Every structure is written in structure tokens, then in C-alpha cells.
Amino acid sequence: MVSIYRSLLKLYPEEHRLAFAEEMFGVFRDARAELEQKTVRERMAFYLREITGLMLGVARERIRELHCCDSKIGGIMDHRSECRFPPFAIVMMTIVFLIVVELIAKGEGLSHYLFRMYTVSGQHVAGTPEHWDLGKSFGQWPSHYGLLSGVVMVFLLAWGAGVAAWAIAYLLRRTGTQRLEEFPIWPSSR
Amino acid sequence: MQPVNANVTEPVLLILLSLAAQPRHGYAILKDVEQMSGGRIRLSTGTLYGALRRMLEDEWIQRHKEENPARGRQGYRLTAKGRRLLEQEVARMNEFTRLASLRFAQREG
């Protein structure tokens, strides 16, 4: 239980952990040492209280981390003048999240479209073995795994866009000699 | 009757009271709070340190070096601001008690 408690302490934000984790662990150990004379019920109540308290504390500190700005704990911690997640960042995160969801939905739609385009539902594709009823099996695949196909499609599109961007950058690259040619020639020393 | 400060919950008040007499480390505060409340309030370590953190930030308490620091124990003591807040809160409760006694006496009389 002691090692579990110690592991759970790692869930706290780093700032809180550095300031209090050792101390909290010490207090937990002291309190636990007293349990030897207690009944099983009291022990269970103790562990339940400690774990619940710790998890609530973690949630509280994580929420504080999102909102808090200045932190000064008896001069032990550095004064932090900027929020880790200012309101602007939270708005941007929400927008990005919505864009990603929308992209996945579009990707899912695109995967449906592509599978319908290349397969004919319920028909055997010429040139393939008899038991390969591609139309039936692939025709239904996206509806069963819609989200997965959407994610895969977005990944493929993002990967394709990345490759294209890299190719453009590669084509437009300039060698060191080409860059040096742009430098003005220094006047010769008199 | 509102508390002097909205952050002064019952556990916080008991922690402040515990530190009013003398500086204490975390475990001693836990035991003292339990004893003062007659076993009614048993703070978990997570709750205690959440409260201590807020109180440190509000500068109601401060850390101080223990004479015999064992197991990374850290002592805490009241600041002047914390003591003032505690006194205000106790005065508010006294006023509340006086008012309540007065009303009860009126009803009986």
C-alpha cells in the first residue's frame, strides 16, 4: 500500500510534488504505523480516506494548474508570473479539438465514399477467388469501424500533406554556396 | 453571518487553531485536528496538504525549520496575518454565540 501511495503521489503536478510529496509520504507512513492496533474496518476506512483525499487533491491541484497564475509557497517555489494555460490557450485548445473532430468526421465520410467507389456491394470482383466477396465485406467495413476509418483517413491525409510539404521544401532548398552568393562582397581592406 | 474569509472552512479553522498554540509538522496537525474535533474531523493527507498549500499562498502560515527534522518533516507556524484572521474569525463566532444566547433567553422569558 505504501508503494501504491507513493506512485499515486506522482499524479500531482510537478510543482506541488516537489514542494510536498516527500512530506505527504512521511505523514502517510506515520499515520499508517498507528494502524497496527486498529481493527480491519478502521484500516479500510483509513485507506479509503487517504486514497479518496489524494485523488481529490490531485484533481484540485490539476484544476488549479489550469487556472492559477502566481504561486508562492513560503519562498520554496519559484514565482510563476504566467499561467500555464491562460484563457486564450484554453479557447484555442477547444477550437483545435473541434477542428480535429470535424476532420475525423470528414475523413470518415471520405473513407465511406472511397470504399463505395471502388467496391460494388454484393458483387464478386472479376479476377479474384470465389470466396473474396470484396463488395460485401469492404462495403460494410466503414460503417462498423467509422471512427477508426476516419482517424486512419485523417492520418493518411496529414501524412500526405507532410510529405508534400517536405517535397516542396526539398525542391526549393538552397545549398550553402547558393546562400553565400547572396552576401554582398566585403570591400577589400585598404 | 458570513465568515471573515470565504476560504475559512471548518478544517482550515481547526488547522489555524492547531498552529495557534505552537508550530507543528503535518502529522501533528492531523492528530491535533482529530483531537480538537473529538474524532469528528479526520483529515486525509491529501486534504491537509491541499489546505496547507492554500494557506501558504495566502500567507496565513509559513514553513519553518524543525529542530529535529526527521523523515523530511517540515514545521508550520502561523503568520501575523494568519493570527489576525483567526482572531477575527473567533470574534465573529463569539458574537454569533452571544446573539444566539440572547435569542434563546428571549424565547424562554
Using a CB-CB distance cutoff of 8 angstroms, which residues of chain A are in contact with residue B63? 73-74, 76
Region A134-146 average pLDDT: 51
Nearest partner of B24 among A105, A167, A27, judged by Cα: A27
Determine the residue of chain B that is closest to A9 in CA distance: B46
Determine the residue of chain A that is closest to B64 in CA distance: A74
The pLDDT value recorded for residue A84 is: 60
**CA dihedral for B36, B14, A47, A1, sign (positive or negative):** negative
Burial class (CB in 10 A: 0-12, 13-18, 19+), B85: buried
| H or E element at residue B35 | helix B26-36
Quick: pLDDT tens for A49-100.
899 899 999 988 888 777 665 444 444 444 444 556 667 777 888 888 888 8
The pLDDT value recorded for residue B79 is: 92
| H or E element at residue A62 | helix A40-67
The pLDDT value recorded for residue B48 is: 92
Can you tell me whether residue B37 is helix, strand or coil?
coil
Lowest mean pLDDT of A66-70, A140-144, A148-152, name the range: A140-144
Level-2 CATH architecture, domain B10-108: Orthogonal Bundle (1.10)
Cβ–Cβ of A57/B50 closer than 8 Å?
A: yes
Query: Can you tell me the distance from the alpha carbon of A183 to that of B3, in angstroms, rounded to the nearest whole number?
Result: 72
**CA dihedral for B48, B52, B54, B60, sign (positive or negative):** positive
One-letter amino acid at A120 equals V
Residues with Cβ within 8 Å of residue A181, at least 6 apart in sequence: none
- This prediction's pTM: 0.58
The pLDDT value recorded for residue A99 is: 86
Cβ–Cβ of A49/B42 closer than 8 Å?
A: yes
Sheet holding B61-64, edge to edge: B24-25, B75-78, B61-64
Task: Give residue limits of the domains in chain B.
Answer: 10-108
Query: Can you tell me the distance from the alpha carbon of A25 to that of A8, in angstroms, rounded to the nearest whole number?
Result: 10
The pLDDT value recorded for residue B98 is: 92
Q: B27 touching A, CB under 8 A?
A: yes
Cβ–Cβ of B73/A57 closer than 8 Å?
A: no
Can you tell me whether residue B64 is helix, strand or coil?
strand
Cβ–Cβ of B56/A58 closer than 8 Å?
A: no
Instruction: Give the count of alpha carbons within 13 A of A22, CB side only.
Output: 8
Q: Give the pLDDT of chain B (109 residues) as one tens digit per residue.
A: 555 566 678 889 999 999 998 899 889 999 999 999 888 888 899 999 999 998 998 899 998 876 666 656 788 999 999 999 999 999 999 999 999 999 888 876 6
Which of B30, B48, B49, B65 best probes binding to A when mutated, by most A CB atoms within 10 angstroms?
B49
DSSP state of A185: P
Instruction: Give the count of alpha carbons within 13 A of B28, CB side only.
Output: 16
Residues in chain A: 190
3-state secondary structure A80-140: CCCCCCCHHHHHHHHHHHHHHHHHHHHHHHHHHHHHHHHCCCCCCCCCCCCCCCHHHHHHH
Query: Can you tell me the distance from the alpha carbon of B59 to that of A147, in angstroms, rounded to the nearest whole number?
Result: 51
Q: Report the mean per-residue pLDDT for chain A.
A: 74
Q: B39 touching A, CB under 8 A?
A: no
Q: Which ipTM value was assigned to this complex?
A: 0.80
| Residue B40 phi, psi (nearest 5) | -75, -40
Query: Can you tell me the distance from the alpha carbon of B86 to that of B17, in angstroms, rounded to the nearest whole number?
Result: 7
Of B45, B57, B71, the CB nearest to A73: B57
